[in-house]
Structure 1
């Protein structure tokens, strides 16, 4: 094949390669403030009931905790649901059922949760890359993006309902060379970490599902790729839905423990700072302490770590330029083109 536009061809090939190696091929999270609730009709009474019910879905996405709906704060927000409603419409499903499509004020709901001392996800919730080896008697296979199977699809949907983006590998030649079914079945940590580097996920979930005679069992491990720490648990069930429930409960508990927080509502704003040169946990802690010591900084949250670079979110009560001036005067922090380097 020939082309009169070789530069265009190179660009298209590059874009295709970027897409194929990007976790963006996985299911995107729904807008946290958009919820669909089934309704019997379009009367005001039905809309008000659906509006109150819809808030529960938003609260679970913002906190990652299904139990949040049982709190007194959630009950109060349901009672005042119309105050948080930004707009609504109706949609008819393929089977003729009607749905209220409600859009809520996420900022105000986050503030209400924090005011009630209920921790919330950061603005960018955690992502989990799932390496799932299926052994159902027809030969093992690893669930992949675009074809995650019933279990993978249910896991991704259920995780999204709790504000977590679950990815699956694309299983191209690079993945196939980096990891095997045997690695996952044996619970080896290093191959999982090595194969996952290209996806940039916050946590790695890996396990082999063995399904026989209508029952299934799986031993999961949740890996922190930066610290190389692992937590393991086992689940059994007779259906994919049961496996999903028993998988997500401990998974979300561990994610909430690490990622949810109570932001400072009194802060004037937020400032994101990238620092490179963070080679271990001790340096990370020293950088965090240094950032917390700056005048006007009320709180420091680690948004993510990639290699030796970490992104920090600073809650500030002064103008951002004042904080930047303090950073630029710090002898241990050297300004770079996109942040600072710890020395």
Structure 2
């Protein structure tokens, strides 16, 4: 009996794990091998520059078009891969070199800390509506691919008994946010997106995308003749919208130091992984360990962004859960006008594990 219970729990855990797609590699491109080495190197660099700026028109900048002649110097490693699309080349580019280039050109950079988005997808055919949830569904396959191309984190619902008892296709199609947010609360995501798909003619599809953020709704409508091109257009638009919110212009002149405290670091391995995660975060130039207790670590960060921007970036780091935000100055006490001296860190986090 105990063994049976553990099997059920294990199956549930595996099912929940499968709902979250692997996080895309920000500085890795995949391009066709059916071209010269110089051509695929230039294509890979173009793909990454668009991805880390969120700007599909970024290559109109003359300086970047000229830099394509030096594309080979940005390649760190590459490998040949074979898939359904034919022979491909998977290329890893030099992140630091790309960041330096964009910083010199005063172009905002959108780093790897990106909002995790949960997608509820409904397709309407005539009067019938259905959740798009089968892994081999063309819509789902196309969405997974284009989101990876843009390095946009993607979470898909489980559509298990809990989801289907709390939410219907009509709830999603009608945009009834109370049951939508209730059903979404079990998934630890930053945003919820509704994708509504409808065939508007024999050859054309209409996609309506609605996402809610901080009580505000963003609604977009696109049309296309096939799933791949329609969803690719949507992913590019979504990336552009998010980059306008979250891309950062690094400013060495504004360099400053802040402290954060992280609870739940119970081993040396936790501390090392934490330092690596922070060091890889856009805008953090240096990480210095100040103190380490049995369950708590304090670090000093040298940053080239504002403290508010830093908190926003770390809000999208899944391994850190914000407990206390001390970035706002304390309220002025008219009864005690003496300045308040505080040694509190900028923020306190809880280290979380998958």
Match of 2:104 among 104, 111, 115: 115
1:329 aligns with 2:319: no
Match of 2:176 among 188, 192, 198: 188
* Structure-1 separation of matches of 2:347 and 2:42: 49
Deviation, structure 1 residue 230: 0.9
- Structure 2 equivalent of residue 169 of structure 1: 157
Counterpart of 2:186 in 1: which secondary structure? Answer: helix
1:142 aligns with 2:141: no
Output one character per residue of 1:216-264: Cα deviation in whole Å (capped at 9) or x when no partner.
324321111xx22212232333322343245334423321222222234
* Structure-1 separation of matches of 2:116 and 2:148: 10
Counterpart of 2:98 in 1: which secondary structure? Answer: helix
Deviation, structure 1 residue 136: 2.0
Within a 5 Å distance, the mapping from 1:146-225 to structure 2 comes to: 146-147=135-136, 149-211=137-199, 213-224=202-213
311 and 244 in structure 1: CA distance in 2 versus 1, 3 angstrom threshold: farther
Structure 1: gaps spanning 5 or more residues: 276-293, 315-326
- Structure 2 equivalent of residue 128 of structure 1: 117
57 and 211 in structure 1: CA distance in 2 versus 1, 3 angstrom threshold: same
- Structure 2 equivalent of residue 237 of structure 1: 224
Output one character per residue of 1:185-209: Cα deviation in whole Å (capped at 9) or x when no partner.
1122222222212222222211422
RMSD: 3.8
* Structure-2 separation of matches of 1:254 and 1:338: 30
Counterpart of 1:25 in 2: which secondary structure? Answer: coil
- Structure 1 equivalent of residue 15 of structure 2: 20
336 and 220 in structure 1: CA distance in 2 versus 1, 3 angstrom threshold: closer
Deviation, structure 1 residue 295: 11
* Structure-1 separation of matches of 2:28 and 2:324: 28
Q: Give yes or no for contact 1:328–1:334 (8 Å, CA) kept in 2.
A: no
Counterpart of 1:129 in 2: which secondary structure? Answer: strand
* Structure-2 separation of matches of 1:337 and 1:231: 30
Q: Give yes or no for contact 1:216–1:236 (8 Å, CA) kept in 2.
A: yes
* Structure-2 separation of matches of 1:295 and 1:166: 29
Q: TM-score, normalised by structure 1?
A: 0.70
- Structure 2 equivalent of residue 320 of structure 1: none
* Structure-1 separation of matches of 2:302 and 2:88: 47
The number of aligned residues is: 292
* Structure-1 separation of matches of 2:73 and 2:346: 47
1:105 aligns with 2:105: no
Structure 2: gaps spanning 5 or more residues: 264-299, 328-340
Q: Give yes or no for contact 1:33–1:106 (8 Å, CA) kept in 2.
A: yes
* Structure-1 separation of matches of 2:138 and 2:170: 22
Q: TM-score, normalised by structure 2?
A: 0.69
Q: Give yes or no for contact 1:222–1:232 (8 Å, CA) kept in 2.
A: yes
* Structure-1 separation of matches of 2:237 and 2:115: 15
Q: Give yes or no for contact 2:261–2:349 (8 Å, CA) kept in 1.
A: no
184 and 55 in structure 1: CA distance in 2 versus 1, 3 angstrom threshold: same
* Structure-1 separation of matches of 2:179 and 2:160: 16
Deviation, structure 1 residue 20: 2.4
Output one character per residue of 1:100-121: Cα deviation in whole Å (capped at 9) or x when no partner.
3322112221232233222222
- Structure 2 equivalent of residue 39 of structure 1: 33
Q: Give yes or no for contact 1:126–1:259 (8 Å, CA) kept in 2.
A: no
